Amino acid sequence: MKSEKKFEFLEHTADLEFIAYGDSLDECFENSARAIWNSIIDLNSVDKELKKEITINSDNLMELLHDFLSESLLIFETEGIVFGDFDVSIIHNHRYELSAVLYGEKFDPEKHLIRGDIKAVTYHKMLIREEGGRWSARVVCDV
């Protein structure tokens, strides 16, 4: 069953701060990406005609989330692709391994209105936790 609330933005004086939710860790990471991309662009304006597959390994969840979100922003900066949907799978053995498919299309200024710019995902206030079978991730981004 998918969570009702995917994410919520928090009041912050200068930066973007949000909490993303999920009924699984995978869903929480997907909704973290949706929160970031929703602050950049209207997710509904993005056709899912391109797929970008990424794999990230890390020793801890905060680094994994940071690197996943940062990689999606890097692809936008280097390849000009905007994203509207995400499919994440996380496996944990001795380390965490994230495999993700990011769905989007080439940025088109006639079609995609840029809402805001994110300079970087930070570790400031970052928190990932599971409580009662529900995951949440708190993220602050420099804008």
pLDDT digits (tens, 9 = 90+) for 70-122: 999 999 999 999 999 999 999 999 999 999 999 999 999 999 999 999 999 99
Residue 9 phi, psi (nearest 5): -90, 140
Whether the Cβ atoms of residue 67 and residue 114 lie closer than 8 Å to each other: no
Range in 11-20, 66-75, 130-139 the model is least confident about: 11-20
Q: Give the rounded percent of residues in the chain with a pLDDT score beyond 70.
A: 98
Three-class secondary structure of residue 42 per DSSP: coil
Q: Quote the CA–CA distance of 52 and 41 in Å, as a whole number.
A: 18
Contacts with 115 (C-beta within 8 Å, 6 or more apart), sequence order: 39, 40, 41, 42
pLDDT grade, residue 36 (50/70/90)?
very high
pTM of the model: 0.93
Hey, what domains does the chain have and what are their CATH numbers? 7-142 (3.55.10.10)
pLDDT for residue 11: 83
Whether the Cβ atoms of residue 120 and residue 12 lie closer than 8 Å to each other: no
Query: Closest by alpha carbon to 122, among 18, 29, 11?
Result: 18
State the residue for tokens 């990230």.
56
